[in-house]
C-alpha cells in the first residue's frame, strides 16, 4: 500500500510542481477561523510517533519535554510536545468521555500538561475524525464537542486530527473532500468554542482526493500534504515533491505540513538529514522532531539547532519558498524573507554531485551591483556579482541567504567561487585510470590571482596529491583542468566509494595574502569487474553497480525487490520483480545445491525494506519469464523464502524464518527438479536451520537454471549496497 501511495504522491507532486513552475496556480487567500496569532510562523516541537509508534507513555513525553527544556532546544524555538496515537484507553468512560490508557498515563493527561507547561512548553495530542484512530482507539466522530472540551480541560494546546475510519458511506453523494471539510470544520469550531487557544493540525493528506490545502486555511493552522514520512531519502523526496508546489496556499497561521522530521532516527546520512531540514525550512513547514531527542548524536542535534536555517523557517513574513527551477533531479527554491533578503536552496536529489546555478534576478532579489551570500550550513559569507551557485553533494542541499548590496567595496568580502570535480564513476581494472575534470568559477566581482588547487586522493590512488597553479581568473569567468589518476583495485574491495578532495587557495582584488576559499569533494565509485561467467543483471530501471574481488561480490542497487505480497485494507498488491543481480547463467542443474554468505547490507532495522540473497530462475536476464525461487535476508534480519508456485512472472508464495538473524548469514538452496529446500546458517555452515520447501511449476523449472546473488533496496529510487562472499555450487 505504501509503495502505491508513494507512486501516487509522486505523480501528483510532479503535476503540481509543473503547474506551479509554469506560474498558472492561483493564490488562495482566506482568513482561517482559528486564532491566527497562535502560530504566526510554523510550529516547532516534538512528536513521538516516528520513534516510538504505539509505545507512548507519560514518562517518555516528560523526558522529551525535559530534554527540549534543558538542552537549549527550547531557546531555538522548539515548543510543542505532541502525543501521537495510542495514548487512549480502548473505551470511552461511562459518560462518553475520552480517557487515557491508565497504564501509559497513570496520572492522566492533565498531569503531563502541567509538567510540560511548568517547563514553559506546550502540549499536543492526537485524535481522529473517524470512528476509530488509525491504531483502533476511540475516534471523535459524533463526539467532537465533548472531546474538544475534554482536551481544553486537560490543558491541551495542539490537536493533530487524523482521517482513519471515517464512515464515508454515512454521507451518500458526498466526496471525501466534502465529508472532510464538514468533519474538520466541526472539530475546528468545537475547539474554538472551548475558549482555549488550541492549534489545529489536520492529518488528512494521505487521501489523495481530499486536497486539504484548498480549504485547510479556513479551518486549521496546518494540514498534511502527503503520505507518512519514513526514514529514508526517497520518502523525504516524495514528501518534498508533494508539498513544494503548494506554496500559494501557505501564509501566517496556515501551513502545508509534509510530515515530521526524521533526523536522528539512523536511516540516513547527515547530508540527507540536512536536506530534510533545509527543504522543510524553505517550505515554511512545521519543524516537529520525530525522534528520541534524548539520545541524539551531536551531529544530528547540530542540524536541529542550526539557527540560521531555523530563522528561514520562522521568518515573520511566513511565506513558503517557491520552486524557481527544476532540471534533472536538481531544484532551486527561493523564499522571500522579511527585510528583503531571500533564502535560496539548491537541492540535489540525485546520487551524484552536481553544480546547481541560478541568479539573484531569478530568485527575486532586488537588482544591485553585488550580493552578499551567507552559506547557512557552512557559515561562510561571500560576495557575488549575481550568480548563485554551488557544487552540491549527492542528496545534499546548499542554502544561502541572499542580500542585495547597494554600495561598498566589491573586494571587501571573499568573492563567491565554485570549485567542482567531475570524476566519472568507472569500472577500474588493475592499473586502470580515471579521468576527472576540475572546474573553478569566479562568481564574484573581482578577479582571482595566483589560485592554487590541491587535489588529494585516497590510498591506492596515484598521484596522491596534485597541485595546480592556475592563471588569473577574471570575475564572472571559469576555467577547467583535466586530472588523471591510476587506481590499484586491490586497495579498494569489489565495490567501494572513495573521495577526492580539492582545496582552493587564492588572492583576490588588491589582497596580498593567500586565503583558503573552501573546496570540493567528489565520491567516486570504484567497481572491480566481474570475471566470466559471472555477469550483471538489473531489472530496477535505475542504475546499479556490481563488483567482484576474488570470491567477494557486491551490488549497489535500488528496486522494490521480489517479496512480499502487500495486503492491506485497500487490497492485495502483486509482488514486484525489481532487483539487481550477479548471475551465473545456466549453472544450476536439476540436482544442485547453491549457497552464498551475505556479509553486509546497508540499512538497519529502522529501514527494514532492503533485501539480499540467492535467486534461481530460468532466466535472470529476462524479466517477464517465469519467476523462480529466492532466499534472502532483509535489512531487518528476516530470512524469507519466496517462490512462484504457479509458474507466474512474480512470486505468489513466501515464508519467513521464525527468528531474525544478524549478518553474516549463509543461505542455501538445494534443488531437486521443481522442489527447493531452503536453509540458513549463522555459524559458517556448521549447523543449518530449515526455512521451508518450495515447489514451483514444472514448466518454470524444467532444465538448467540461472543462479545469482541479488540485492534490492526496498524502495524504487533509493540505492543501498549488499556484500556477499563464497557463491558456491555443488
Q: How far is the CB of 277 from ligand GAL (least distance, A)?
A: 19
Which residues lie below 8 Å from residue 417, measured CB to CB, with a gap of 6+? 382, 440, 441, 442, 443, 444, 448, 504, 506, 517, 518
The grid cell for 599 is 556479509
Specify the residue for cell string 561571500.
382
Which of 48, 128, 157, 162 is an active site residue?
162
Which residue, 127 or 618, has its beta carbon nearer to ligand GAL?
A: 127
162 a catalytic residue: yes
Q: How far is the CB of 263 from ligand GAL (least distance, A)?
A: 16
Spatial separation of the C-alpha atoms in residues 316 and 405, rounded to whole Å? 22
Cβ distance 524 to 393 under 8 Å? no
Helix, strand, coil % in the chain, rounded to nearest 5:
20, 35, 45
Spatial separation of the C-alpha atoms in residues 254 and 39, rounded to whole Å? 8
- Single out the residue of 502, 544, 546 nearest to residue 523, CA to CA: 502
* Cα–Cα separations (whole angstroms), residue 92 to 75, 86, 140, 166, 478: 38, 14, 10, 18, 70
Q: How far is the CB of 160 from ligand GAL (least distance, A)?
A: 7
Which residue, 128 or 723, has its beta carbon nearer to ligand GAL?
A: 128
The grid cell for 444 is 564574484
Residue ranges binding ligand GAL (CB under 6 A): 49, 84-85, 126, 133-135, 162, 164, 203, 228
Which residue, 13 or 159, has its beta carbon nearer to ligand GAL?
A: 159
Q: How far is the CB of 134 from ligand GAL (least distance, A)?
A: 3
Which residue, 226 or 420, has its beta carbon nearer to ligand GAL?
A: 226
H-run or E-run covering 187: helix 176-193
Q: What is the biggest distance separating any 2 CA atoms in the chain, rounded to whole angstroms?
A: 84
Q: How far is the CB of 516 from ligand GAL (least distance, A)?
A: 45
Which of 76, 101, 228, 726 is an active site residue?
228
Which residue, 236 or 630, has its beta carbon nearer to ligand GAL?
A: 236
Specify the residue for cell string 526514514.
231
DSSP letter, residue 115: H
Cβ distance 403 to 386 under 8 Å? no
Q: How far is the CB of 128 from ligand GAL (least distance, A)?
A: 8
Spatial separation of the C-alpha atoms in residues 496 and 490, rounded to whole Å? 11
Which residues lie below 8 Å from residue 51, measured CB to CB, with a gap of 6+? 264, 265, 290, 291, 292
CA angle at 16 for the pair 14 and 21, rounded to the nearest 5°:
95
Which residue, 287 or 544, has its beta carbon nearer to ligand GAL?
A: 287
Q: How far is the CB of 163 from ligand GAL (least distance, A)?
A: 7
Which residue, 179 or 413, has its beta carbon nearer to ligand GAL?
A: 179
Residues recognised as catalytic: 162, 228
Amino acid at each position: 500500500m505504501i509503495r502505491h501511495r508513494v507512486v501516487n504522491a509522486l505523480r501528483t507532486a510532479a503535476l503540481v510542481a509543473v503547474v506551479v513552475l509554469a506560474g498558472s496556480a492561483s493564490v488562495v487567500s482566506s482568513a482561517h477561523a482559528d486564532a491566527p496569532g497562535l502560530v504566526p510562523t510554523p510550529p516547532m516541537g516534538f512528536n513521538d510517533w516516528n520513534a516510538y509508534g504505539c509505545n507512548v507513555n507519560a514518562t517518555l513525553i516528560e523526558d522529551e519535554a525535559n530534554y527540549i527544556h534543558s538542552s537549549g532546544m527550547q531557546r531555538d524555538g522548539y515548543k510543542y510536545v505532541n502525543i501521537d496515537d495510542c495514548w487512549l484507553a480502548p473505551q470511552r468512560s461511562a459518560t462518553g468521555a475520552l480517557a487515557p490508557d491508565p497504564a501509559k498515563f497513570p496520572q492522566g493527561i492533565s498531569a503531563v500538561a502541567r509538567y510540560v507547561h511548568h517547563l514553559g512548553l506546550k502540549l499536543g495530542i492526537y485524535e481522529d475524525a473517524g470512528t476509530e484512530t488509525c491504531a483502533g482507539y476511540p475516534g471523535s466522530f459524533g463526539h467532537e464537542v465533548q472531546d474538544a472540551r475534554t482536551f481544553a480541560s486537560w490543558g491541551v494546546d495542539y490537536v493533530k486530527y487524523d482521517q482513519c475510519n471515517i464512515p464515508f458511506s454515512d454521507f451518500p453523494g458526498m466526496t471525501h473532500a466534502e465529508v472532510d471539510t464538514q468533519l474538520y470544520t466541526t472539530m475546528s469550531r468545537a475547539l474554538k468554542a472551548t475558549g482555549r487557544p488550541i492549534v489545529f493540525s489536520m492529518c488528512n493528506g494521505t487521501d489523495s482526493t481530499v486536497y486539504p490545502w484548498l480549504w485547510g486555511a479556513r479551518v486549521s493552522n496546518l494540514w498534511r500534504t502527503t503520505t507518512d514520512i519514513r526514514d529514508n531519502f526517497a520518502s523525504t523526496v516524495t514528501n518534498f515533491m508533494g508539498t513544494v508546489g503548494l506554496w500559494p496556499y501557505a501564509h501566517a497561521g496556515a501551513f502545508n505540513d509534509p510530515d515530521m522530521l526524521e533526523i536522528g532516527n539512523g536511516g540516513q546520512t547527515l547530508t540527507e538529514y540536512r536536506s530534510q531540514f533545509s527543504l522543510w525550512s524553505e517550505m515554511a513547514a512545521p519543524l516537529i522532531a520525530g525522534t528520541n531527542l534524548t539520545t541524539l548524536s551531536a551531529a544530528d542535534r547540530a542540524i536541529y539547532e542550526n539557527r540560521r536555517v531555523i530563522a528561514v523557517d520562522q521568518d515573520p513574513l511566513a511565506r513558503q519558498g517557491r520552486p524557481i527551477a527544476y532540471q534533472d533531479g536538481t531544484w532551486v527554491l527561493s523564499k522571500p524573507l522579511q527585510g528583503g533578503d531571500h533564502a535560496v536552496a539548491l537541492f540535489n536529489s540525485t546520487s551524484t554531485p552536481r553544480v546547481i546555478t541560478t541568479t539573484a534576478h531569478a530568485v527575486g532579489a532586488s537588482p544591485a551591483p553585488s550580493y552578499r551570500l551567507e552559506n547557512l550550513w557552512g557559515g561562510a559569507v561571500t560576495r557575488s556579482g549575481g550568480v548563485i551557485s554551488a557544487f552540491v553533494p549527492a542528496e545534499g542541499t546548499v542554502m544561502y541567504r541572499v542580500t542585495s548590496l547597494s554600495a561598498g567595496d566589491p573586494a571587501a568580502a571573499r568573492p563567491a567561487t565554485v570549485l567542482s570535480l567531475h570524476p566519472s564513476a568507472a569500472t577500474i581494472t588493475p592499473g586502470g585510470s580515471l579521468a576527472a575534470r576540475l572546474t573553478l568559477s569566479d562568481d564574484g566581482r573581482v578577479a582571482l590571482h595566483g589560485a592554487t588547487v590541491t587535489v588529494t586522493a585516497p590510498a591506492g590512488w596515484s598521484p596522491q596529491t596534485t597541485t595546480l597553479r592556475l592563471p588569473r581568473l577574471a570575475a564572472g569567468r571559469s576555467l577547467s583542468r583535466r586530472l588523471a589518476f591510476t587506481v590499484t583495485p586491490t586497495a579498494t574491495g569489489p565495490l567501494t566509494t572513495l573521495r577526492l578532495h580539492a582545496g582552493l587557495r587564492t588572492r583576490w582584488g588588491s589582497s596580498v595574502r593567500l586565503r583558503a576559499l573552501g573546496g570540493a569533494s567528489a565520491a567516486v565509485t570504484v567497481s572491480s569487474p566481474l570475471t566470466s561467467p559471472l555477469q550483471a543483471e538489473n531489472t530496477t530501471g535505475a542504475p546499479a553497480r556490481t563488483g567482484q574481488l576474488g570470491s567477494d561480490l557486491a551490488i549497489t542497487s535500488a528496486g522494490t525487490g521480489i517479496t512480499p505480497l502487500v495486503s492491506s485494507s485497500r487490497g492485495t498488491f502483486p509482488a514486484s520483480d525489481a532487483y539487481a543481480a550477479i548471475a551465473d547463467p545456466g549453472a544450476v542443474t536439476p540436482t544442485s545445491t547453491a549457497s552464498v554468505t551475505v556479509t553486509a547490507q546497508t540499512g538497519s532495522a529502522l529501514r527494514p525494506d532492503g533485501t539480499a540473497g540467492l535467486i534461481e530462475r530460468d532466466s535472470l536476464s529476462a524479466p517477464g519469464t517465469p519467476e523462480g525461487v529466492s532466499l534472502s535476508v532483509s535489512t531487518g534480519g528476516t530470512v524469507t523464502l519466496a517462490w512462484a508456485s504457479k509458474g507466474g512472472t512474480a512470486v505468489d508464495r513466501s515464508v519467513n524464518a521464525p527468528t531474525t538473524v544478524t549478518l553474516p548469514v549463509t543461505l542455501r538452496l538445494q534443488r531437486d527438479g521443481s522442489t527447493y529446500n531452503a536453509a540458513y546458517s549463522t555459524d559458517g555452515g556448521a549447523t543449518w536451520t530449515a526455512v521451508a520447501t518450495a515447489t514451483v511449476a514444472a514448466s518454470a523449472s524444467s532444465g538448467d537454471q540461472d543462479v545469482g546473488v541479488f540485492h534490492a533496496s526496498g524502495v524504487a529510487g533509493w540505492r543501498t549496497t549488499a556484500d556477499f562472499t563464497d557463491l558456491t555450487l555443488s
